[in-house]
Amino acid sequence: MSNTYAIVLAAGQGTRMKSDLYKVLHPVCGKPMVAHVIENISHLGANRIVTIVGHGAEKVEETLGNTSEYVLQQEQLGTAHAVQQAEKLIGDLDGTTIIVCGDTPLIRSTTMQKLIEHHKQSAAKATILTAYTEDPTGYGRIIRGENGQVLRNVEQKDATKEEQQVQEINTGTYCFDNRALFEALKKVRNDNAQGEYYLPDVLGILREEGALVTAYATEDFSETLGINDRVVLSEAERVMRLRIAESHMRNGVTIISPENTYISADAKIGRDTVLQPGSMIEGKTMIGSGCIIGPNSQITDSIIGDRTKVHSSVVIESKVGMDTTVGPFAHIRPESDLGNHVRIGNFVEVKKSTFGEGSKAAHLSYIGDANVGSNVNFGCGTIVVNYDGKKKHVTTVEDEAFIGCNANLVAPVEIGKGAYVAAGSTVTKNVPADSLAIGRARQENKDGYVSKLKLN
């Protein structure tokens, strides 16, 4: 079996994006577009992956890590010049090389594999990945002979009126015999208006030498989208979002409105979970089976247990147990850990706290920097006062404690097992187990006070 190599072109700045972020680092469904490309290539079992970097090289390398080797294109002198930079790493190796642009995150690994297989079966020196589109304006056209062989690739500006009617276009993804590629690259000239070295010129050079150049057409034109501006970025996001949704639905997830649901490329969702409209599942979130998410919930880099409901709420970088209810209108902030059978109700905010099994905070409470045991009840309006103006402090509430409505727990403080805090209390001292804490002014009624006030 011959070796397979991959070259990813990721050196361009992407001026049409009008952004401080380098083009290939713009995310599509939560992941940088070039990371999608590298991941898809990784499924091919390539012996080596070489990414050509230029603008933002350090950021690109930091993003991709050890998933690729890197070569710097110091001057952007065209696509052929970019590929030529990989010669010092793989130029003298035998095998097949696939070249993919770093701004084409929608090309599936299965399509890449079919391209490589077609290339090898045809015994070609070069194979072009093509696609058909009703509006080929701006694309290079693939001109075939009577028997279907590729005669040439014609750019839009050079095409005759007849050639401009051709709907098969060059996607910019190629397969080459590796040695033939780097030999031909040495013969590419830059005698064009831009003074650049273009990779498609390699095709003409190989044909002139009598080598076979073929093409493989993908059935899905959307795969070939190259992202050059925010408009195409939005279209790529739409296509991938629906593709991700379809994959989850085929694996047993119900998505009420795929067009109005966002799921990141790295999210995992269990079967029989229902995603309602407006749900945003971001980052590396893991959602269990039988859950109900939404409507209008945002879950980012979190773990959600089986049969849990997150209704119109936000969960960020936290863990939520099984059979738990969150919301509506709750906010679970980073580093929170909610146990099983927990209830976090409307307008409750939890921050960097553990909340034990069976505990409840039904409404209008703030719980920050707290360790809460099991079967604890927080009454409406309970506030964990965790900040003294300089430092955050921890509050501990042990199992089966009952915190009455409108109570303030001023940290650092401990509420013992089974203890009660009377409604309206401000607690500043530790409360022993099975004790009642009352920290409020004694009520005094002044008879006839209002009548006397009106007389004056």
Q: Which of 56-60, 97-101, 450-454 has the lowest mean pLDDT?
A: 450-454
Please list, in sequence order, all residues whose beta carbon lies within 8 angstroms of the beta carbon of residue 91, skipping any fewer than 6 positions away. Answer: 178, 179, 182
363 flagged as catalytic? yes
Q: Over the stretch 261-299, which tens digit does the pLDDT of each residue have? A: 999 999 999 999 999 999 999 999 999 999 999 999 999
Q: Over the stretch 337-395, which tens digit does the pLDDT of each residue have? A: 999 999 999 999 999 999 999 999 999 999 999 999 999 999 999 999 999 999 999 99
**Binding-site residue positions for Mg(2+):** 103, 228
Name the most confidently modeled range: 81-90, 149-158, 159-168.
81-90
What's 68's DSSP letter? S
Q: Which of 27-36, 132-141, 225-234 has the lowest mean pLDDT?
A: 132-141
Average pLDDT of 129-156? 87
Query: What is the sign of the dihedral through the CA atoms of 222, 226, 228 and 234?
Result: positive
**Binding-site residue positions for acetyl-CoA:** 386-387, 423, 440
**Tokens 């590729």, residue?**
150
pLDDT confidence bin for 159, thresholds 50/70/90: confident
The b-or-e profile of 377-404 (16+ CB within 10 A means b, else e) is bbbbbbbbbbeeeeeebbbbbbbbbbbb
What's 379's DSSP letter? P
Per-residue pLDDT at 456 exceeds 90: no
Tokens describing residue 110:
């299965």
* Contact (CB, 8 A) for 201 and 188: yes
Question: Given 26, 331, 341, 363, which residue is catalytic?
Answer: 363
Rounded to whole angstroms, the Cα distance separating 210 from 203 reads 11
pLDDT value of residue 403 = 98
* Contact (CB, 8 A) for 324 and 341: yes
| Mean pLDDT over each residue of the chain, to the nearest integer | 95
Rounded to whole angstroms, the Cα distance separating 310 from 255 reads 15
* Contact (CB, 8 A) for 115 and 129: yes
pLDDT value of residue 1 = 59
Rounded to whole angstroms, the Cα distance separating 13 from 81 reads 16
Where do the domains of the chain lie, and which CATH numbers do they carry?
4-224 (3.90.550.10), 233-437 (2.160.10.10)
Nearest to 213 by CA among 267, 274, 145: 145
Q: Which of 104-118, 179-193, 287-301 has the lowest mean pLDDT?
A: 179-193
Nearest to 322 by CA among 338, 335, 336: 338
SS (HEC) of 252-310: CCEECCHHHCEECCCCEECCCCEECCCCEEECCCEECCCCEECCCCEEECCEECCCCEE
pLDDT confidence bin for 2, thresholds 50/70/90: confident
* Contact (CB, 8 A) for 342 and 367: no
Per-residue pLDDT at 193 exceeds 90: no
pLDDT value of residue 54 = 93
Query: What is the sign of the dihedral through the CA atoms of 25, 27, 33 and 36?
Result: positive
**Binding-site residue positions:** 9-12, 23, 73, 78-79, 103, 140, 155, 170, 228, 333, 351, 366, 377, 386-387, 423, 440
pLDDT value of residue 155 = 83
Rounded to whole angstroms, the Cα distance separating 424 from 401 reads 16
Per-residue pLDDT at 216 exceeds 70: yes
Give the whole-number percent of the chain exceeding pLDDT 90. 88
Q: Over the stretch 40-68, which tens digit does the pLDDT of each residue have? A: 999 999 999 999 999 889 999 999 999 99
Opening angle at CA 285, ends 279 and 290, nearest 5: 65
* Contact (CB, 8 A) for 359 and 342: yes
pLDDT value of residue 112 = 98
Give the whole-number percent of the chain exceeding pLDDT 70. 100
pLDDT value of residue 152 = 84
